[in-house]
Structure formats: C-alpha cells, structure tokens
C-alpha cells in the first residue's frame, strides 16, 4: 500500500550529459547555458577538510550574503537562525550589500576569526570562485548557498544549496505560457547582473518559451537592481512604448521589484497584464491573494536559509554530503496558498524539547501520544517538503541520541551505534516507516534508561546531579552548555527547572557555589578572589556582589570566622 504521507517537490538528483560545445548553440537554446545551469555536477573536489565527526553542538558558523533588509533575505536569515539554534550552533551573519569589495573584506575577516564553517552566497558567478578557493586554502570548510558560483568554484566547497532557478523558472515559463494562451508580448524584470539568478531567471524563461510557445514575443528585459522605484520606471516606459502589445511580465523578485510593477500597472489602469514572479515572500503571497500575481515559484526563503545548516550538520555527523542540494521545485497559485503555508509552518509547534524530556523521564505514554499526533498531523496536511522532512528526522534523531549520551547509555545498547543510527535513518523506505523507526529508537532508549537507573530521575534532578554531585559547578556551566548535553534547548531547560524546583537555574547555581565558597572561607585562610575562581566565578567583583546577595555578608566577614590554628 502506498504511504499516505506525501513528500512534494523532490529535488533533482543528477544532470544530463554535457553537450560537446555548449557555446556554439544560440542563446535561445537551453544547451548554450549548460555550464551555468549544471555548475557543480561532476566537479572533482579539492582539499576539502575531513569531517571531525563530532556533531553540530557548539560549532560556530559565519554566513556572508549580499543583502540585508530585503524581504526574501530577511526570511532567509530567520530560517538559518532557527535551524542553527535547534542544533546548538552559534551563528553570525554579515551582509555585503552587493558591494564586491565589502564581500572580500568580510571573507577575509571571517577567515581570521577561524569559525568551524563558513556559508557564502557569492554575489558574482565568476568572482565567487576566488573567494571559495581562499576559504578552502585557509582550511575552513565552506558551503556555497543561494547564488551559484561558476563550475570551478564548486571544487572548493563542501556543497552548494539553494533554489534550482533554472528548473523552477522553466516551470514558471510553462505556467506563464498557459496563462497567456501561448501568444502575446512579454517583458522580463531581471535579477542583479552577474549573479547566477540573473542568468537563470532570464534565460530559463527565454529558452523555454522559445521551445514551447514560439508565438510569444520578448519585448524587453531590464535589470532594475530589484528596486521598487527603478522597476516602476521601467514598466511605465514599457507601457509607453509597447502599449497593448505588453500582455505579461515575469519578475525575478516577488517583493520590492514586484511592488514597482504593480504600482505602475495600477496607475495606468492595466490590471489585465498577466504577472508571475519568483517567490515566495510574505509580500508575494499577499499579491497572490489579492490577484496582482497569478503564480509564484514555491521558493521558501526560510528553507533556503535552513538548508546550508542542515548540510553542515550532515558534514559534522560524518555523513556523505551531496555536491548540490536544491530546494523543492513547485509553483504556488491562489488556490494553493493554504497548502504551501502548511508546508512552511508545519514545524512551528512540533516540540522536540518536550519529546526529549519525555524520553529522558521514561514517559512511555507521552512518547506514544507524541508520535501518534505527529503521524496524524503529517497525514492530515499531506503536503511536506522532502528537504524539511529529512531535516526534521535528522533533528529528531539527534535529540534522541543526545538523551542517550546524557544518560551514559553505552553505544552497544543501540543497534549500529550512534553513527549507525543515522545511516539506518536514511534507509527507511517511506515517511511512515521513518516515523515508526524513530519511535522504536525512542522506546529502546527508554527501556535502556529504565534498566540502568531502576527508576528515572526528574530532569531537574539530573541537572543537579550533573552540576552538583559531579562538581561541574567549578566550571563555566550554563543552561546553554547543559542544553547541548541533555539534547534540549536552553529555554526549555530553564522553564522545566523553574517549574520543578521553584527557582531559576541561575539562582540555584549561585546559591550552590556560594555555599561551597562559605565552607572554604570558614575552614582555612585563603584570599577571597582565589575562592571566587575555585567555585566558578572568573570575575571577583561579581563574586563579591553575589556572595553579599545570597548570604547578607561580605566574604571578608565570613573569613573572619576562621580561627588561627584551624587548618
């Protein structure tokens, strides 16, 4: 029986054979653009750093891309930030604002700071190669994202992730031809010249329409730097020159540039002009609802930002990394908005912190409810991105293995060990089988924990044992560090700790440390600042402040309780 959870928009897994001389074909023939469209396929990698195979938690990533403030890239940043937070990765994002000199400076600054990995969205297909080579030669793993470098650039990066612009703009062109009835004049609003999106979102359309709709005529194409004012001026000029011959417009951007198109057409009373665009920002979806766009590409900016982090997680886990990983290809029309939003928002309230807590507490009934609800949710929605489901499954398994490690479950208790579990995950034949297998892993961990402990401690008790009994209070311990060990977010650990103990983790930790400090001060003659270091405070002044707050006395007063001769 077919699986009743449908994964949509599967990524392309290969490339056709390369024509012998692509440059000899005319620009209106898709074979002319082979080396740009399939950049990254079949390229031998050079000097790639080996995976440390120690997982993503605690790693530091620096991302450099071209634009801050644009709706698409703002969502891209949010997607990357959320994904990094979920895996315990420290993330810094810098923007070059389409300035090649600034981009070079940012790359050099990133290299000097020695992060664990760099994500680079190269502004220019050719110039991006030298930047990727520079990072590679510095021994830092790099993932190219969002915009494609030329073929040579792929030699120096672990992988490239982002939208399959060529594939999805051919799909958009076919939809556009259908809306236009296969005839009429059209114009193109292009992406930034020199970027991979410029070539793809222009020539994929032109070559596809030349093949399937020869009666359609390209009137003009214009690069407006995706600005509202410049785009509006271009459309006003087109209306003046072409008049009724202008029947449709394809835009490389569904946000600020599309706003300029809509403004010009509304002012001229030309709402009859058919419009499609690259999406799918909140602004583009709003235009789709209002009818000022007929279709957009289902290009989730959040997933675009999340994807390089997921590839980095695979790399740090020692898994094979595909050289090219595309976003799903699909279109969104007005009647499909709800399904698209379901795909994008489906993960919002999936509480993996709660699952990790239930597994750690051996709450079998709670785990049963979690996986039952999860299956119902996925079956009801029936629209899931393959990339999202894959990333979600990896994250869920990562949380489970983190719980296993935090409870010192031996590798032999889990079939294939920790690394083998990830290989088994990718061998599951369907989404339903994947969920059933993950639930089985959770059950095995709980059974082992039950057997090992003869009864489970609460989460707050486990934290207190780790910090107090194991004497980690001497170290720079924090909720953020504990989150990595226990496989849950710092916010969730703090919330549960307060609920179970009636006070914050910071308050409890300070009281614990000051208690040890009091015993040291009262038992022997020692400098207060040395005591501060001994109990985990690097700042002596802060130690004095906390000591007074907790005890109502200064360290010197407690030191006065020490009596000479009492060694």
Q: How far apart are CA 540 and CA 554, in angstroms?
A: 12
How big is the CA angle at 207 (ends 147 and 148), to the nearest 5 degrees? Answer: 10
**pLDDT at residue 338, rounded to an integer:** 65
**pLDDT at residue 77, rounded to an integer:** 92
Reported as a single tens digit per residue, the pLDDT across 491-532 is 888 888 888 888 899 999 999 899 888 878 876 678 888 888
Q: Which residues contact 366 (CB under 8 A, 6 or more apart)?
A: 354, 358
Reported as a single tens digit per residue, the pLDDT across 33-92 is 998 888 888 888 988 999 999 899 999 999 999 877 777 888 899 889 988 998 899 999
**pLDDT at residue 346, rounded to an integer:** 47
Reported as a single tens digit per residue, the pLDDT across 191-231 is 999 888 899 999 999 999 999 999 999 999 999 998 999 99
CB-side exposure of 390: number of CA atoms within 13 Å?
23
**pLDDT at residue 204, rounded to an integer:** 96
Quickly count: other Cβ atoms within 10 Å of residue 9's Cβ.
21
To 10 degrees, what angle do helices 352-360 and 364-381 make?
A: 150
Residues of the chain with pLDDT under 50: 1-2, 8-13, 346-348, 381-382, 562-567
**Structure-block tokens of residue 374:** 């999860």
**DSSP structural state of residue 397:** H
Q: How far apart are CA 539 and CA 542, in angstroms?
A: 5
**pLDDT at residue 566, rounded to an integer:** 39
**pLDDT at residue 482, rounded to an integer:** 86
Burial class of 451 by CB neighbour count within 10 A (0 to 12, 13 to 18, 19+): exposed
**Closest alpha carbon to 75 in 336, 306, 337:** 306
């Amino acid at each position: 029986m077919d699986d009743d959870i449908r994964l949509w928009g599967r990524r392309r897994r290969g490339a056709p054979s390369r024509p012998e001389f692509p440059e000899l074909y005319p620009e209106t023939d898709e074979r002319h653009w082979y080396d740009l469209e399939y950049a990254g396929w079949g390229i031998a990698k050079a000097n790639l750093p080996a995976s440390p195979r120690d997982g993503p938690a605690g790693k530091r990533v620096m991302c450099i891309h071209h634009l801050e403030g644009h709706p698409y890239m703002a969502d891209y940043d949010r997607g990357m930030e959320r994904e990094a937070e979920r895996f315990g990765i420290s993330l810094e994002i810098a923007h070059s604002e389409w300035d090649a000199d600034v981009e070079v400076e940012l790359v050099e600054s990133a290299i000097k700071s020695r992060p664990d990995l760099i994500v680079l969205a190269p502004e220019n297909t050719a110039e991006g190669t030298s930047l990727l080579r520079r990072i590679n030669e510095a021994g830092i793993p790099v993932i190219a994202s969002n915009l494609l470098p030329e073929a040579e650039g792929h030699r120096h990066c672990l992988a490239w992730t982002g939208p399959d612009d060529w594939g999805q703009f051919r799909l958009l062109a076919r939809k556009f031809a259908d809306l236009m009835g296969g005839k009429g004049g059209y114009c193109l609003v292009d992406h930034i010249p020199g970027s991979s999106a410029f070539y793809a979102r222009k020539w994929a359309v032109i070559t596809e329409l030349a093949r399937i709709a020869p009666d359609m005529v390209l009137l003009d194409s214009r690069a407006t730097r995706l600005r509202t004012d410049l785009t509006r001026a271009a459309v006003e000029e087109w209306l003046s020159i072409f008049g009724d011959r202008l029947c449709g417009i394809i835009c490389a951007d569904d946000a600020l540039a599309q706003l300029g198109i809509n403004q010009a057409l509304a002012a001229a009373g030309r709402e009859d002009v058919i419009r499609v665009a690259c999406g799918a920002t909140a602004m583009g979806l709003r235009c789709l609802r209002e009818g000022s766009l007929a279709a957009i590409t289902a290009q989730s900016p959040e997933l675009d930002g999340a994807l390089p982090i997921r590839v980095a997680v695979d790399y740090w886990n020692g898994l094979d990394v595909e050289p090219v990983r595309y976003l799903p290809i699909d279109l969104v029309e007005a009647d499909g908005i709800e399904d698209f939003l379901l795909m994008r928002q489906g993960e919002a309230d999936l509480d993996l912190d709660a699952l990790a807590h239930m597994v750690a507490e051996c709450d079998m009934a709670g785990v049963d409810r979690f996986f039952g609800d999860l299956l119902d949710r996925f079956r009801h929605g029936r629209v899931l991105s393959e990339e999202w489901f894959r990333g979600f499954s990896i994250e869920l398994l990562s949380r489970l293995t983190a719980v296993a490690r935090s409870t010192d479950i031996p590798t032999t208790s889990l079939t294939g060990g920790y690394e083998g579990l990830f290989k088994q995950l990718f061998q599951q034949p369907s989404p339903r089988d994947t969920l059933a297998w993950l639930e089985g892993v959770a059950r095995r961990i709980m059974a082992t924990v039950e057997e090992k402990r003869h009864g489970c401690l609460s989460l707050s008790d486990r934290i207190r044992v780790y910090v107090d009994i194991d004497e980690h209070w001497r170290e720079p311990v924090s909720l953020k560090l504990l989150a990595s060990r226990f496989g849950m977010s710092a916010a969730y650990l703090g919330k549960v700790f307060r609920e179970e103990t009636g006070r914050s983790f910071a308050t409890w930790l300070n009281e614990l440390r000051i208690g040890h400090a009091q015993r040291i001060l009262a038992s022997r003659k020692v400098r207060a600042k040395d005591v501060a270091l001994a109990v985990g405070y690097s700042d002596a002044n802060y130690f004095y402040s906390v000591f007074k707050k907790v005890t109502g006395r200064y360290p010197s007063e407690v030191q006065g309780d020490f009596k000479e001769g009492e060694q």
